[in-house]
Structure 1
């Protein structure tokens, strides 16, 4: 097994990935499916945050809908239909045609300021509060311009004129004229907070257009050579009817055949508001919430360097995943959950079914690695935490118990001799039991050393709670190798090593093990931590076979 060959990481060229023959791409998704799968897993992991964001967006949309005043749109439909003027010739003469350019010109007539001003004045909308405050009849006197030449004064428009102009602009901004496709049908719409006003303005605009067309023909008839009194009277009657309809906000009461247009749909009073579109706004809020939440999750996933899944170990760190351990906890009397007592590790299957399955997977992976080297017993297994409190002690005790259940002998050595709060010192510690620090300082006691019984597992604590640790205790000393050689006779030895970040002696101790397993805590250990630990161990010649994803 070539443990020293290194590959460059495509995501971080400054770091190197260790090469493990056990790593294989079979069964590992890649490409767009892997991205989608990772995004969905991240969304499930942050489901509460995404749900809260979606609810917030929908709430903002609902608040906007609730606080926005409703508006109504009334639409009148007009058909442009030019007629042949009277006295234009024989019956077979063709009627004037209406081309595309003429139709667009008529649309501009409907949008013209002259027509809209006629509607605005005829309906007396200057004092309508919807377009602004009422116009004061008293106007201020002209004020001199300080920038003007001496002896000269320039006048500014009175405030009432400016205010009325702003009202007219507010009125015209709500007016819409639209041609239906390529036809000669024109929709004249007006939007207002008052549905009655919307209907009156739309109908008045159509009537104003008819009145302008008829008035122009009446003027032409009066000045033309074909002047006929009857014709003039008919046009005048139609013009008066159209003008009256403009002032009343309705359509002409009498037909207007000479208007070159025909009303095919009067503006009806709206029965429901046209804005805000509540369903559309709420749907847009929900869409923004979902899409924004997923984008945020995808961004966090891209920036997140923490290891959470076995795929992260293989794809991002290049380390085989030997086993996946769940979080093991127990309920207390008050319903809270707290870490399980280490003494329960004497029976790992009693902790959690998935935890027991992970321990069995770990045992199988270790045995396969030993078999490839021609070993199956009397071997040393080292567990190195990637970060502090990675759970190496619980895993080591459970593995030792499982190996003993298989008919072998297993002993656990706690090597963290500088830790004063070791969990293995809890309970009734026998004062006659030896400790690793004492055996390193006094190698003559190794043969007669009494191990500590911890829940059915023979344990050599790192230190005694009753005696201080000498400064000469060092894992790199030959005495530590003598302790390992003595304990490995006839069985397995499991070394519980502290993280490399807290003790550089773990590198020296890892070299004395036949196989080294890294323990990474899911959601806490990062890819950089894993690379640092793995490359640090491989750099000193340790036989790293893979990693465990703990508390997944």
Structure 2
């Protein structure tokens, strides 16, 4: 039996993707490092979009800092002191201080109490301050008749003025803060307002109200106590009047208040710069949100992106060995299309591209290793097929054939895209005569001995069909004549089949099983994992010997 008259792989020997060898190579990372590496590569691919997003977030933050209403914070500082008996006439009492942690926390609650804040609010007449007035949209409306009124049980609802007054007081109290400094007895009383002068007045008035409350309690105790000393009462009354006047004016007492349970160690000064918004913090937060949001968006795009971009994607996501990586060698025009090339040019720029030449050599080495493993080293058929149109199979096939010829081997390329509108640059002269294309040979098998090749830069090419010639639908790559053409060509050396894209023609699967090895060409950034998996499963299901894939235009 003539071995050239049989298929290289019997159709009943169906294979699956698992026939590939272990695809986890030394150069492919795995685990968390692979995730980080993929995220960084995705960020580099989308660096312009990430940069625009970060600038947008910083711009929004800057716009907010410019347009936001500034707030000022004034702080007064109190020092809590031990409580002395009411009857002691001086601060030189012999009793030990009676100040503990529990009392310190109690004094903080006194400072936060509604009674003290109401005293400050009313003394400074803040009810008329528009800063605390609710918007008109939030102003309470007059209540309508309720169920109790309809039933005859009339209850007095709160008046609109009372509700509005309560809301103003709540807005005032929300900006008042009291904080104990660490575990010490120093207390900071702060108030925040759009008006720096008002912030200072409220903070000082709150401190004065606290002193007044403490002194007033001692004055009442002195009047009602068993030891009634008129001089002591007069001193306490003087201190109380001074504290009350300070509350009304929003300042500290003019006279000393030695009988108070606290001592002012720092008056609230009018702030010179706003405490909010904090521009540096907001800008930094905007930049952080931009970076984090940009990376999260890139991560989501990477997670949902099914396109093959790197050799690692071929190995890890598709489970297919990467035989070679080809760079982009064709420049794009202003319309975004790749420029027209002359494949007959021996001095074409891609042949001088180091990365492209290295990729072709890697492909040749991978094919030779696969052929050696099958016991074939010459007169072999190599099929190149793409998942989608314009993946670059023709250019890779011509380059591979030229490299094989430079190594002393004979190589021919057959363009099998008979019915497609593909590579018209692989066409013979219209006056070439019979046997000038694959379609002519399939129609007239007697012309096999008269097969004519077109010279493309030193590579013999059999075009798929003659130009401007209609091809009948009866011509198929599954015919036995096509097998005879392959057998005739392979006697002179290597035969490279440039098959139609799998997404265009199902005949590619039939033609691929006639080759010794099949290489899938995937275009980086365009071919998806699903397309590649379907291509591999379809080819292997048809009996083709798929040895791996080439990542083109990476």
Common fold by TM > 0.5: yes
Would you say 1:181 and 2:182 are equivalent positions?
yes
CA shift in 2, pair 1:424/1:476, >3 Å = same
Deviations 1:85-108 (A, max 9, x none): 254699884234122222222111
Q: CA deviation at 1:240?
A: 0.7
Equivalent pair of 1:522/1:551 in contact (CA under 8 Å)? yes
Please list the CA deviations of residues 268-321 of structure 1 after superposition, one character each: whole Å capped at 9, or x if unmatched: 111111111111111111111111211221122122221110011111212111
Residues 262 and 24 of structure 1: CA distance in aligned 2, closer, same or farther (over 3 Å): closer
Cα distance in 1 between the residues matched to 2:372 and 2:343:
31
| 1:468 partner SS | coil
What is the Cα deviation at residue 162 of structure 1? 2.4
1:228-253 Cα deviation digits (max 9, x unpaired)? 01101100110111111111111111
Residues 123/493 of structure 1: CA separation in 2 closer, same or farther (3 Å cut)? same
Q: Is the 8 A contact 2:428 2:436 kept in 1?
A: no
Following superposition, the deviation at residue 149 of structure 1 comes to 4.8
CA 1:156–1:427 in structure 2 vs 1: closer, same or farther (change >3 Å)? farther
Matched, 1:539 2:541: yes
CA distance in 1 between counterparts of 2:146 and 2:19 reads 84
Q: Equivalences for 1:188-203 in 2 at 5 Å?
A: 188-203=189-204
Equivalence for 2:113: 112
Paired residue for 1:435, among 414, 434, 437? 437
Aligned to 1:64: 64
Give the structure 1 partner of residue 474 of structure 2: 472
Whether the 8 Å contact between 2:17 and 2:540 is mirrored in structure 1 is no
Report the alpha carbon displacement of residue 67 of structure 1 after superposing the two structures with TM. Answer: 1.5
Task: Please show how residues 28-47 of structure 1 align to structure 2 within 5 Å.
Answer: 28-47=28-47
Q: Distance in 2 between matches of 1:424 and 1:143?
A: 87
Change (3 A) 1:326 1:423: farther
CA distance in 2, matches of 1:496, 1:143: 85
Once the two structures are overlaid, the 10-residue window that deviates more, 286-295 or 203-212, is: 286-295
Q: Distance in 1 between matches of 2:497 and 2:548?
A: 16
**CA RMSD after TM alignment:** 2.8
Return the match for 1:452 from 444, 454, 457. 454
Distance 2:443 2:57 in 1: 66
Q: 1:362 to 1:258 in 2, by over 3 A?
A: same
Matched with 1:12 is none
Residue-by-residue CA offset, 1:506-532 (whole Å, 9 max, x unaligned): 122111111111101111111222121
- Go from structure 1 to structure 2 and tell me whether the alpha carbon gap of 1:107 and 1:92 turns closer, same or farther (over 3 Å shift): closer
Range that drifts further, 297-306 or 184-193: 297-306
Question: What TM-score, normalized to structure 2?
Answer: 0.90
1:140-539 map, 5 Å:
147-149=148-150, 153-330=154-331, 338-343=338-343, 346-347=346-347, 349-350=350-351, 352-425=353-426, 428-432=429-433, 434-539=436-541
CA change 1:313–1:493 in 2 (3 A) is same
TM alignment of 1:50-129, pairs within 5 A:
50-85=50-85, 87=87, 93-129=94-130
Partner of 1:13: none
Tell me the TM-score normalised to structure 1 length.
0.90
Counterpart CA distance in 2 for 1:129 and 1:399 is: 83
Partner SS, residue 149 of structure 2: coil
- Mapped to 1, the partners of 2:376 and 2:142 lie a distance apart of 109
- Deviation, structure 1 residue 151: 6.5
SS of match in other structure, 2:436: coil
Alpha-carbon distance, 1:44 to partner: 0.8
Q: CA 1:51–1:550 in structure 2 vs 1: closer, same or farther (change >3 Å)?
A: same
SS at match of 1:447: helix
Q: Deviations over 1:59-116 (max 9, x none)?
A: 2212221221000001111111134225469988423412222222211111112111
Change (3 A) 1:331 1:523: closer
Q: Hey, what's the Cα distance between the residues in 1 that align with 2:428 and 2:243? A: 104
SS in 2 for 1:453: strand
Tell me the matched-pair count. 537
> Distance between the aligned counterparts of 2:18 and 2:467, measured in 1?
39
Secondary structure, in 3 states, of the residue corresponding to 1:110?
Answer: helix
CA distance in 2, matches of 1:41, 1:420: 36
Q: Is the 8 A contact 2:72 2:199 kept in 1?
A: yes
Q: Is the 8 A contact 2:428 2:454 kept in 1?
A: no
Gaps of 5+ in 1: 7-15
Cα separation, partners in 2 of 1:146 and 1:318, compared to 1, 3 Å: closer
Cα shift readout 1:423-452 (whole Å, capped 9, x = no counterpart): 335685543261111111111001012122
What's the CA shift for 1:367? 1.9
The alpha-carbon deviation at position 144 of structure 1 amounts to: 7.1
Check conservation: 2:414, 2:464, Cα contact below 8 A.
yes
